[in-house]
């Protein structure tokens, strides 16, 4: 265990080794990953790095644990998840600090959103465990035909760095409720809260080997999960480019896939919208979590009649957002999570300029010298055309593209013109238009007079380049189970299809 460079983390609860078979272990190669604090670029700690042989060990442990876990009464599996939810809450302050230090999320956000949502999601799936019922199918007279939902086996879960704590509950909650065992790879950039949750799972009574955590790089540990012949399903959250590679790499044993990929959400403001609400909601849509959200409202489509009024107000909100140390409760926007990613987002500012877009605000780092060593970017608003690269490609930062439209058809054409289809939103007081536009938006989620609402009860996921499969709700339970149809003859007359030879009939008699 290593001490934190900032005196803010409790070194006694900081976990830095791989979690395999209920033990904290080093990687076979003894390799380590340096975990950096995005506020100032200093080292928080060094963690063990998992490689392919460590993934093998984790799969062995998960395979050994599977029969007993799958056979554990569903209510008991649920009880453990409910205890995890309680433990997340009783360790809320520490988890929020850990997440904010590792990711750069403002403490205000981790405290009010990340931690409570993580607890709520574990609790929801704790309740779900014994409620995901099978069914009886009225298929044929004389038969009891029932459908059972059986766990799949060892599942691999690969997650990105933008909401690592929350993703432990999104991924582990349903997988465990359904009776699977898990090998999870957090992002190499943000492994700390995931490792701490592993410890809380153990404290809650989860048997050894049911969950194994193998932090490592995508091309080594991640790829070992994707291609592993004994992993039966992979749930992947990350970029569309890597998602495509996951599809190819998984072909060997035909494992099932669930892909939660990138987004380029359109946020459409019609001329009859409540502009005050729309401005507030649109600022949350893009600037919360520094815009590092797959469902961020990254394209602001404004009706030409209200565009100037909306923008006046929106720019004043954007330019007044308080950037600062994520651990300061007054901070509204923290740093981006890594320097590489900060550079990628800033490169898009140059792309925008090159395409003749107008930078309405931001486009650079924080002006405060205290933040100079961190990965900060000021809220950035850019006026661009729908065909421009910055209007089509995922930037994944506090970077919003503004464009105007003249009528509903044009708004829909622009909204549906990217390769993505995750979440879109619209603001209007016209009820018919709200439903009409919602039905014509090509995405897995639509918000009306709101943006970026998420609940453990509501299916979450995308269409087209945003992937397939769903997290959350009853839907996700189908992702983590396989249906088995069982036919029991309870009095059907079976047809005699092939005549039996006389000799046998005589012997029977």
Catalytic amino acids? 260, 294
Minimal distance, residue 343 CB to ligand NAD, in Å = 13
Residue 498 backbone phi and psi in degrees, to 5: -125, 125
Q: Does 262 bind ligand NAD (CB under 6 A)?
A: yes
Number of residues located near ligand NAD, criterion CB under 6 A: 30
| CA-closest candidate to residue 161, choices 138, 129, 202, 191 | 191
> Of 106, 218, 297, 425, which lies in the binding site for ligand NAD, with binding defined by CB under 6 A?
218
Q: In this complex, which beta carbon is closest to ligand NAD, that of residue 270 or of residue 460?
A: 460
Q: Both tokens of residue 380?
A: 């950035």
Smallest gap, in angstroms, from Cβ of residue 465 to ligand NAD? 10
DSSP letters spanning 99-138: HHHHH---HHHIIIIIHHHHHHHHHHHHHHTTT---EEE-
Q: Shortest approach of ligand NAD to residue 472 CB, angstroms? A: 10
Encoding tokens for residue 244?
Answer: 């495509």
Among 65, 128, 159, 336, binds ligand NAD (CB under 6 A): 159
Segment contacting ligand NAD (CB under 6 A): 91-99, 261-269, 351-359, 492-500?
261-269
- In the complex with ligand NAD, the residue whose CB is nearer, 259 or 306, is 259
Task: Report if residue 62 touches ligand NAD, rule: CB under 6 A.
Answer: no
| Cα distances (angstroms) measured from residue 369 to each of 339, 365, 366, 372, 398 | 17, 10, 8, 5, 20
State in angstroms the smallest separation of the CB of 145 from ligand NAD: 36
Minimum Å distance from CB 219 to ligand NAD?
5
Q: For ligand NAD, which stretch binds (CB under 6 A), given 86-94, 147-155, 183-191, 381-389?
A: 183-191
Return the beta strands (E) in 270-339 as ranges.
299-303
In the list 62, 155, 201, 261, the residue contacting ligand NAD (rule: CB under 6 A) is: 261
- Among residues 31, 37, 57, 204, which one has the least CA distance to residue 122? 204
Name which of 209 and 243 has its Cβ closer to ligand NAD: 243
Binding flag, residue 195, ligand NAD (CB under 6 A): no
Nearest residue (CB) to ligand NAD, 57 versus 470 = 470
Count of other CB atoms within 10 angstroms of residue 124: 21
Residue 214 vs 306, nearer CB to ligand NAD: 214
- Cβ atoms < 10 Å from Cβ of 44: 23
469 binds ligand NAD (CB under 6 A): no
* 126: Cβ contacts below 8 Å, ≥ 6 apart: 78, 79, 80, 81, 82, 83, 84, 85, 173, 177
What three-state secondary structure class fits 346?
helix
| Site string (356-395) toward ligand NAD, x via CB under 6 A | --------------------------------------x-
Residue closer to ligand NAD, measured from CB, 109 or 260? 260
Residues facing residue 382 across a β-bridge? 359, 401
> Applying CB under 6 A, does 235 fall inside the site for ligand NAD?
no
309-348 CB burial, b ≥16 within 10 A, e <16 = ebbebbbeebeebebbbbbeeebbbbbbbbeebbeebbeb
- Residue 187 contacts ligand NAD per CB under 6 A: yes
User: Across the chain, which distance is largest between two alpha carbons, in Å?
Assistant: 100
DSSP state of 11: T
The per-residue DSSP string of 225-264 comes to HHH-TT--EEEEES-HHHHHHHHHHTTTTT-EEEEE----
Q: Which stretch binds ligand NAD (CB under 6 A): 56-64, 91-99, 222-230, 278-286?
A: 222-230
Based on the shown chain and the rule CB under 6 A, indicate whether residue 339 belongs to the binding site for ligand NAD. no
Q: Alpha helix (H) ranges present in 388-485?
A: 389-392, 408-415, 431-440, 475-479
Q: Token pair of 74, please?
A: 């569903």
Residue 239 sits in the site that holds ligand NAD (CB under 6 A): yes
Q: Determine if 188 is a binding residue for ligand NAD (CB under 6 A).
A: yes
Minimum distance, C-beta of residue 328 to ligand NAD, in the bound complex (Å): 25
CA distance 452 to 152: 31
Q: How far apart are CA 50 and CA 33, in angstroms?
A: 9
Stretch that binds ligand NAD, among 30-38, 125-133, 200-208, 214-222 (CB under 6 A): 214-222
Out of 19, 122, 161, 447, name the contact with ligand NAD by CB under 6 A. 161
Provide the binding-site residues for ligand NAD, judged by CB under 6 A. 158-162, 185, 187-188, 217-219, 222-223, 226, 237-239, 242, 245-246, 260-263, 294, 394, 396, 422, 462, 466
């Amino acid at each position: 265990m290593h001490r934190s460079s900032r005196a803010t983390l409790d070194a006694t609860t900081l976990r830095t080794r791989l979690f395999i078979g209920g033990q904290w272990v080093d990687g076979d190669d003894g390799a380590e990953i340096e975990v950096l604090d995005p506020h100032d670029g200093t080292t928080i700690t060094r963690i063990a790095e998992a490689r392919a042989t460590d993934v093998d060990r984790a799969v062995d442990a998960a395979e050994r644990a599977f029969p007993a876990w799958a056979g554990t009464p569903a209510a008991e599996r649920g009880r453990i998840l409910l205890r995890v939810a309680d433990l997340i809450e009783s360790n809320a302050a520490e988890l929020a600090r850990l997440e904010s230090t590792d990711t750069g999320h403002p403490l205000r956000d981790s405290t009010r959103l990340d931690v409570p949502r993580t607890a709520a999601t574990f609790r929801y799936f704790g309740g779900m465990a014994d409620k995901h019922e099978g069914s009886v199918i009225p298929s044929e007279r004389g038969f009891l035909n029932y459908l059972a939902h059986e766990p799949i086996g060892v599942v691999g879960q690969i997650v990105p760095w933008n909401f690592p704590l929350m993703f432990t509950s999104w991924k582990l909650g349903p997988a465990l409720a359904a009776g699977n065992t898990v090998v999870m790879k957090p992002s190499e950039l943000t492994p700390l809260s995931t490792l701490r949750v592993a410890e809380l799972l153990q404290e809650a009574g989860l048997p050894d080997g049911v969950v194994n955590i193998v932090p490592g790089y995508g091309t080594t540990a991640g790829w070992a999960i994707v291609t592993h012949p004994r992993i039966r399903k992979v749930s992947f959250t990350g970029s569309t480019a890597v998602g495509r590679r996951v599809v190819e790499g998984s072909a060997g044993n035909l494992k099932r896939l669930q892909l939660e990929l990138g987004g380029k959400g359109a946020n459409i403001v019609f001329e009859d919208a409540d502009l005050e609400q729309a401005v507030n909601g649109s600022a949350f849509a893009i600037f919360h979590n520094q815009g590092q959200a797959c469902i961020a409202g990254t394209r602001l489509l404004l009706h030409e009649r209200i565009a100037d009024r909306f923008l006046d107000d929106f720019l004043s909100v954007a330019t007044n957002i308080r950037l600062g140390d994520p651990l300061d409760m007054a901070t509204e926007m923290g740093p981006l999570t890594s320097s590489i990613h900060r550079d990628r987002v800033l490169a898009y500012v140059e792309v925008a300029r090159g395409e003749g877009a107008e930078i309405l605000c931001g486009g650079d780092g924080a002006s405060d010298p205290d933040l100079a060593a961190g990965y900060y970017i000021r809220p950035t608003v850019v006026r661009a055309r729908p065909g421009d690269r910055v209007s089509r490609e995922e930037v994944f930062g506090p970077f919003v593209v503004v464009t105007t439209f003249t009528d509903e058809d044009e708004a829909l054409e622009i909204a549906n013109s990217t390769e993505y289809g995750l979440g879109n939103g619209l603001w209007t007081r016209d009820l018919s238009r709200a439903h009409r536009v919602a039905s014509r938006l090509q995405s897995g989620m639509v918000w009306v007079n709101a943006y970026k609402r998420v609940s453990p009860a509501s299916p979450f996921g995308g269409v087209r380049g945003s992937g397939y499969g769903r997290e959350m709700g009853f839907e996700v339970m189908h992702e983590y189970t396989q249906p088995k149809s069982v036919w029991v003859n309870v009095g059907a007359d079976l047809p005699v299809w092939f005549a039996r030879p006389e000799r046998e009939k005589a012997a029977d008699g």
